[in-house]
């Protein structure tokens, strides 16, 4: 059995059959491709997302906040409250813990969220520290992944495999020293500062029918999840998907597909034709790189669903 997210078929067969009693408060519940749950409380929608960090050993506090904030933001809300569960390997001392929680505090300040609780413990049976986070936010209009419609344009911000590039540059730095220049290695590691999509999600959320945070499985996995959630297909030009030069070089070395490598930091959104120019203008005005890579169609998919993320083939 490989590491990483379980496949959609297993999710549907086993997990979705054990969800407890239904509730009329749930507007968006568990579903393939849905980044967060949406609960209606009085006149507002509460957005709740949970995500772990299991593939990185460095910068895990930073990553944990931003991947959870991203899930809330792409569902149309502002991330506001964060609860981390920190499982520390037994060799981590006070300085290690101080570094992790310092990263969490700094990242929460960046997205405007407050830590309101959580849990921290040492675990003797694990050989790497793991953080599982839960982020909360509120909105008057939620945006489900299932909202994509045929004819919508697909926009991608920044580029593919930003998080994967950063993780591999940090975790395999010695190996890559003979592959990337010192400057390229610095650029690759620095992609960790780009993994938040909160700014662009806030800018375009009033124009789009859906947004998605491409984590495990990369751009290819995220597009397939959007298709699964909406019941439609997608037609994209792989050559139109931006891939940073340093990522191409890194992926050639590891013999992996950058479109199947974890891609937090990119935002995929579906845009009705009437709003394409507005989305381009607001992103360009904020100096956020982006590309329109294709469209939602009635059926068919131009990229296959990865069996698992390329990151696990390299780190395992």
pLDDT digits (tens, 9 = 90+) for 70-97: 999 999 999 999 999 999 998 888 999 9
Residue pair 188/180 in contact by the 8 Å Cβ criterion = yes
C-alpha closest to that of 202 among 74, 57, 312: 74
Say what percent of the chain tops pLDDT 70. Answer: 99
Q: Check pLDDT > 60 for residue 5.
A: yes
* Phi, psi angles (nearest 5°) of residue 228: -65, -45
DSSP string, the chain: --SSSPPHHHIIIIITT---S--TTEEE-S-TT--SEEEEETTEEEEEEEEEE-S-SSSHHHHHHHHHHHHHHTTT-EEEEEEEEEEEETT--HHHHHHHHHHHHHHHHHHT-EE---EEEEETT-SS-EEEEEEEEEESS---GGG--TT-EEEEES-TTHHHHHHHHHHTHHHHTTTS-HHHHHHHHHGGGG---HHHHHHHTTT-SEEE---TTHHHHHHHHHHHHHT-EEEE-GGGS---HHHHHHHHHHT--GGGS--BTB-EEEE-GGGHHHHHHHHHHTT--EEEEEEEESS-BSSPPPSS-HHHHHH-
Nearest-angstrom CA–CA distance, 254 and 180: 12
Structure confidence by residue, pLDDT tens digits, 97-133: 999 999 999 999 999 999 999 999 999 898 889 999 9
Which pLDDT does position 223 carry in this prediction? 97
Look at 301 and 57; give whichever has higher pLDDT: 301
Which pLDDT does position 208 carry in this prediction? 98
Q: Residues spanned by CATH 3.30.1330.10 within the chain? A: 8-139
User: Is 3.40.50.170 the CATH classification of the domain at 145-315?
Assistant: no
- Domain 8-139: state its class: alpha beta
Rounded to 5°, the CA angle 58-63-69 comes to 170
Q: Check pLDDT > 60 for residue 1.
A: no
Say what percent of the chain tops pLDDT 90. Answer: 82
Positive or negative, the CA dihedral 315, 252, 191, 77 is: negative
- Output the CA–CA distances (angstroms, integers) from residue 229 to 75, 83, 114, 214, in the order listed: 13, 27, 31, 14
Q: How confident is the model at residue 2 (pLDDT cuts 50, 70, 90)?
A: low
**What is the residue-averaged pLDDT of the chain?**
94
CB < 8 Å & 24+ apart, contacts of 125-128:
126/87, 126/89, 127/89, 128/57, 128/89
Q: Residues spanned by CATH 3.90.650.10 within the chain? A: 145-315
Residue pair 161/243 in contact by the 8 Å Cβ criterion = yes
Q: Check pLDDT > 80 for residue 56.
A: no
Which pLDDT does position 8 carry in this prediction? 83
Residue pair 262/311 in contact by the 8 Å Cβ criterion = yes
Q: Check pLDDT > 70 for residue 45.
A: yes
Nearest-angstrom CA–CA distance, 50 and 243: 28
Which pLDDT does position 34 carry in this prediction? 86
Which pLDDT does position 132 carry in this prediction? 96
Which pLDDT does position 312 carry in this prediction? 85
C-alpha closest to that of 162 among 238, 79, 43, 263: 263
Identify the weakest region by mean pLDDT among 109-123, 164-178, 262-276. 164-178
Cα within 13 Å of Cα(39), Cβ side: 10
* The three-state (H, E, C) secondary structure of 253-277, written as one string: HHCCCHHHCCCECECEEEECHHHHH
Structure confidence by residue, pLDDT tens digits, 231-267: 999 999 999 999 999 999 999 999 999 999 999 999 9
């Amino acid at each position: 059995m490989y590491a990483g997210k379980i496949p959609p078929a297993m999710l549907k067969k086993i997990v979705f059959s054990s969800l407890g009693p239904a509730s009329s408060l749930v507007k968006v519940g568990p579903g393939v491709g849905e980044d967060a749950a949406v609960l209606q409380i009085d006149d507002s929608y509460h957005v709740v997302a949970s995500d772990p960090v299991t593939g990185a050993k460095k910068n895990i506090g930073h990553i944990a906040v931003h991947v959870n904030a991203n899930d809330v933001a792409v569902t149309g809300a502002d991330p506001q409250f964060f609860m981390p569960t920190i499982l520390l390997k037994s060799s981590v001392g006070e300085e290690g813990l101080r570094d992790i929680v310092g990263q969490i505090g700094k990242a929460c300040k960046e997205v405007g969220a407050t830590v309101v609780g959580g849990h921290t413990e040492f675990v003797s049976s694990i050989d790497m520290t793991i953080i599982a986070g839960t982020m909360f936010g509120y909105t008057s209009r939620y945006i489900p992944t299932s909202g994509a419609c045929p004819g919508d344009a697909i926009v991608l911000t920044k580029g593919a495999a930003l998080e994967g590039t950063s993780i591999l540059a940090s975790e395999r730095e010695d190996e890559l020293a003979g592959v990337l220049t010192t400057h390229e290695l610095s650029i690759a590691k620095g992609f960790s500062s780009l993994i938040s999509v909160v700014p662009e999600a806030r800018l375009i959320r009033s124009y789009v029918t859906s947004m998605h945070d491409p984590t495990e499985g990369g751009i290819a996995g995220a597009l397939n999840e959007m298709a699964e959630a909406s019941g439609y297909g997608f037609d994209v030009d792989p050559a139109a998907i931006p891939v940073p030069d340093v990522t191409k070089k890194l992926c050639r070395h590891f013999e992996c597909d950058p479109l199947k490598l974890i891609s937090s930091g990119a935002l995929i959104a579906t845009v009705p034709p009437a709003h394409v120019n507005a989305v381009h203008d607001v992103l360009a005005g904020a100096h956020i790189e982006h590309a329109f890579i294709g469209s939602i169609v009635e059926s068919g998919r131009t990229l296959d669903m990865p069996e698992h993320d390329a990151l696990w083939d390299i780190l395992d």
